Structure 1
Amino acid sequence: MSEPIPPEIRRLKELIEAAGGQALAAYPEPYKNQWQIFALLPLSKVQPTPFQRDLSEAHVERLREVIAKLGRFLDPIVAVPAPDGGFWTPNGNHRREALKRLGREYIAAVVVPDPQVAFEILALNTEKAHNLKEKALEVIRMYRALLASEPTRKEKEFAFQFEEAHLATLGLIYEKSERFSGSAYVPILRKVDRFLDLELPLALEERERRAGLLLEVDALV
């Protein structure tokens, strides 16, 4: 490979080493040739994104048992730089916790220099399928994080990250009522709800209004 390593990848390598990790290889991935680093990261420096779903105890234990039985860790997580100097993983929290319980100190990771990848959590998370409540809660947590960091951007700009428009509305409801039967309303919401052409603060107000209406309807049935 004759391409020069980009400056941002050199800086990422320094960040990995400063955190006590090992940058094993820097390379352009095969789809769009975007550079990333394969590394061993200290588990103590890797945390889930703050808007991620809660751990499934059963899934962590299954992973722990499988890794122990195989005697190998074969599925690297994705990681991005975190604001505190450590790393966030948008798709590997169960594997991180399983290795931690096995007494390991490091985890294999594909480290991407772009922190925005952390918001591709629904697309990246393939280790355990989300149920509706988990998806909705992750979306509304992402929504608030983006509202704090990029308040002038419009909701429709995050269609890929949020996946479906109604998930933000349902997330607001699930925060208030974990037993809400959201799946009963998904077919109609998919037909009528669209991503809003509003900046995030105004869009969230509209989502809260819609959540209130849906709760009123639910109270009548």
Structure 2
Amino acid sequence: MAAKSPRKKAATRTTTRRPRRKKAEPASKGLSAAEVASEAATPPVELVQGIQEDGGQVLSVYRDPLGAHTVVFAALPIDKVEPTPYQRDLSEPHVKRLAAAMERLDRFLDPVIAIRKEGRYWTPNGNHRLHASKLLGGKSIMALVLPEEDVAYQILALNTEKAHNLKERSLEVIRMHRGLTGARAGRESEFAHLFEEPAFLTLGAAYEKRPRFSGGAYNPFIKRAESFLDLPLAEALQVREARADKLLELDDAVATVVDGLKARGLQSPYLKNFVVARINFLRFKKEGPVEFDPTVARMISSARKFNLDKVNREDIGRMSGPLLAEDPE
């Protein structure tokens, strides 16, 4: 009886883990209640005067309990408040649900955050509450007005009233990039803390060009291949546009394969994910640098050479569960 060959050990992948956040000691950071309301909170005179000139009313000035930053609590004319230009599109059903809840309670208890800009007020995280108040005929809205204009760009960190999906997050980030381009000097990499992930920029540019783009199917390899660019914002934006075009070219090639599989009677909601997984050679490349352009070019080539005859129902079933039954003739 032949001896069994020793089984090869699976290659282990080394991953760099983020250090765990140390648990803070109770009551060890920030301001006490008395310090929040103390006279140490210096009123931003220009902002306070501006709010009053705009028809608003300043109710109080305090320091936020975490970072001791100055905050102005004010009632603002609702017609002077608008969302930042970089936000996701409004969800009408969500606005109606909010309005119904507010109407039942007969109260508005969740102030929006706002920054003053040329006599108007941008809110980076209160668009749905703002429109719900307008839907109910509100005249004013309560706001925490911050002196720092940069807060307007902190959308992803501040917007918690409705969870973002990949499309919404990506569109917000690329819109933010466009807003910063021309308005600010600097390189894309210097704004990494605002953009969060470089993949959002390229995906966002693709979603702008093709709203029904299936970004989720491509996001795993894009996250590995993308990084923030050490280029001026305007030049970086051109690169993002070019990469989005390449992604859409890949999407077209994948769609052709999916159509071919459907023509052979294979029906599944996961066909696109299956095809992308098949042509994603990074599955076998666990380590080492990954560059965007060569990666996408190779995947486009693989999609165009995809052999439909080598795919059977069991292959797709193993990946996504039972396939859908074929429609009767």
- Taking structure 2 as the reference length, the TM-score comes to 0.64
**TM superposition shift of 1:174:** 1.0
Partner of 2:129: 95
CA RMSD of aligned residues (A): 1.1
Cα deviation 1:161-192 (Å, max 9, x = unaligned):
11110111111111111111000011111122
Bigger proportion of residues as strand: 1
**Unmatched segments (≥5 aa) in structure 1:** none
Residue correspondence of structure 1 range 1-221 to structure 2 within 5 A: 1-3=38-40, 5-6=42-43, 9-82=44-117, 84-150=118-184, 152-221=185-254
Q: Can you list the C-alpha shifts for 1:33-88, whole angstroms capped at 9, x where unaligned?
A: 11010111110110111121121000000100111111211111000012x31110
Letter in 1 for 2:42: I
- 1:182 & 1:162 partners in 2: Cα distance? 17
Alpha-carbon offset, residue 4 of structure 1 = 5.5
Q: Take 1:3 and 1:172, find their aligned partners in 2: how far apart are those partners?
A: 45
Percent of residue pairs identical: 52
d(CA) in 1 for partners of 2:41, 2:250: 59
Q: Provide the secondary structure at the position in 2 that maps to 1:65.
A: helix
* Structure 2: runs of 5+ lacking an equivalent: 1-37, 255-329
Corresponding pairs, count: 217
Mapped to 1, the partners of 2:158 and 2:60 lie a distance apart of: 22
Matching residue's letter, 2:183: S
8 Å Cα contact 2:41-2:70 kept in structure 1: no
Amino acid at match of 2:238: E
Q: Whose RCO is larger (CA < 8 A, sep 6+)?
A: 1
Could you tell me the TM-score, scaled by structure 1's length? Answer: 0.95
Contact 2:113 2:125 (8 Å CA) reproduced? yes
Larger gyration radius, structure 1 or structure 2 = 2
Instruction: Find the residue that maps to 2:72 and give its secondary structure.
Output: strand
| Structure 1 residue 13 displacement after superposition | 0.7
Of 111-120 and 132-141, more deviation after overlay is shown by 132-141
Runs of 4+ off more than 6 Å: none
